[in-house]
């Protein structure tokens, strides 16, 4: 499955990932400075959510493209749809 995203979708995902990147840098500094464990864990949870959202956005876009595809023979389309469904399910579960 190729990553085909519209410019606005791609921009949103990249913004989430850049935000997570900045949060990770902040967490590293917090640990180096000996900051409170609760603060570090709170930031780790925020990064985890940001990464999950980026992943789900990518998967959702893949699903949207898959559902929009047509023009194939019914049998081929069904087999392709089943394969894509299995791949998307595996990706969703990898984020769970």
For the stretch 12-59, pLDDT in tens is: 889 989 999 999 999 999 999 999 999 999 999 999 999 988 888 887
Q: Coil, strand or helix: which one is 82?
A: helix
Kind plus residue range of the DSSP H or E element containing 90 = helix 74-95
Q: What is the number of residues in the chain?
A: 96
Cα–Cα dist 77/4, whole Å: 19
| Residue 20 pLDDT | 94
Tell me the C-alpha distance between 66 and 77, whole Å: 10
∠ CA(72), CA(7), CA(86), 5° rounding?
40
């Amino acid at each position: 499955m190729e990553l085909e995203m519209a410019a606005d979708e791609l921009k949103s995902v990249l913004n989430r990932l850049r935000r997570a990147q900045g949060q990770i840098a902040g967490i590293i500094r917090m640990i180096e400075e000996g900051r409170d464990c609760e603060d570090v864990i709170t930031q780790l949870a925020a990064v985890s959510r940001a990464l999950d959202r980026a992943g789900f956005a990518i998967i959702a876009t893949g699903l949207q493209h898959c559902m929009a595809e047509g023009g194939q023979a019914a049998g081929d389309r069904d087999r392709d749809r089943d394969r894509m469904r299995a791949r998307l399910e595996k990706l969703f579960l990898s984020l769970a």
